[in-house]
Every structure is written in structure tokens, then in C-alpha cells.
Amino acid sequence: MKPEIDRLTPDNIVDFIGSIFDRRGGEEYLGEPVNMGQHMLQGATIAEQNCQSEEIIVGALLHDIGHFTSEFGTFTMNDTEDRHHEDAGAEVLERFFPSVVTDCVRYHVAAKRYLCATRPEYFQRLSEASVHSLNLQGGPMTPAEVAEFEKNPNLDHIIAVRYLDDAGKRPNMETPDYWHFAPMVQRMVDQYTAQ
């Protein structure tokens, strides 16, 4: 891990994530019509507007944070192999957040593969960039992978965040900034680290 990651604590993780949004949220998001920060904020905002649980809102807010924490950088349409941003993000967050949140981060890519295998109409919803990354990520799951994935106790939350991931690509959608959600993020951290 990078040195700054090693210095994270329950008291500074929320501000650290906020600094990522502030410093790097404007970076391009895989050729989509929104930047990285807008993409994650849109997912969280849509979840909040639809009265989803705080776990789903925070999961949507943080699902792509691994694009910023991974030393391999972010995915591009020129990539020929997967960069596993979902694992990079989950590895940073798992010290501070409950498994339901980190599973939403760790498995949002797998959820795309799962939905492509189990709901054929889902594939039609994917953007060009999402189809490209799907191919790098292994394509639709095999029946054995589907059966294994369905054992995850957080499956419903993971699928909900996946749909929010797909929805968070709207040009010109108004959202609050990260700091609107920061108290909710801190509650998740406090609940987990108090155990």
C-alpha cells in the first residue's frame, strides 16, 4: 500500500475520501459523458432520492473509488487487460466499512457479469465503454460462477449498486457534492469500527 493509505484511521478516512473527490473527481470516466466524481455522486444521489438504505447509498458513492487508489490508474478504451479497480477500492475500505459496503465495491464488476448471464435484456442497457470493460473482465458469468455468486449474503445490495452504477452516467444531472454524504459515510465507519 502507498504510505498515505497506511496512515488512514477511522478519524481521517472520511476526509481522505473527500479529498480524492475534491482533487480527482474531475477526471474522465471511461469516455462516458460524466467525470468520475459526477458518476459516483449521481449513483448516490439517485439512491438517496429513491429512499434506499444508507449502505446502498454509500456503496454507490464509493463503488469506483478504486480507480483512484489503484497504482495502475484508471481504465481506458485502449486497455487490453482488466485493472481490477474493484479490488483496489475494497482493500482500502475494508478496514473501515461493513462488509455490505465493501462487497458493493468489490463485486460491482462481478454483478455486471452476473446480470449479463442471468438477465439477457440487461446487456442492452450497457454503454459502449461498459461493454468493452465487460469483455476484459471475463464476459458473462458461467453457470458455476452464477451459482457461487448467488451465495453472497449481500447479493441484493450488490445488484442495487450495480444498477446505480449504470444509472450514474447522465450529462447535466445536478447532485450535491461529496460533503453532503460525508456524515452518512462517517456513520458507516463509526458503526463498523465500534464493533
Q: Is the pLDDT of residue 71 over 50?
A: no
Instruction: Report how far residue 42's alpha carbon sits from residue 101's, in angstroms, rounded to the nearest whole number.
Output: 17
Q: Is the pLDDT of residue 138 over 90?
A: no
For the stretch 98-135, pLDDT in tens is 999 999 999 999 999 999 999 989 999 888 888 888 88
SS3 content of the chain, % helix, strand, coil (to 5): 65, 0, 35
Do residues 165 and 60 lie in contact, with contact meaning Cβ atoms separated by under 8 Å? yes
Superfamily for the 25-193 domain: Hypothetical protein af1432 (1.10.3210.10)
pLDDT score for 131: 86
pLDDT score for 69: 59
Domain boundaries, the chain: 25-193
pLDDT score for 152: 98
pLDDT score for 29: 81
Instruction: Report how far residue 8's alpha carbon sits from residue 55's, in angstroms, rounded to the nearest whole number.
Output: 21
What lies within 8 Å, CB to CB, of 192 at 6+ separation is 96, 97, 98
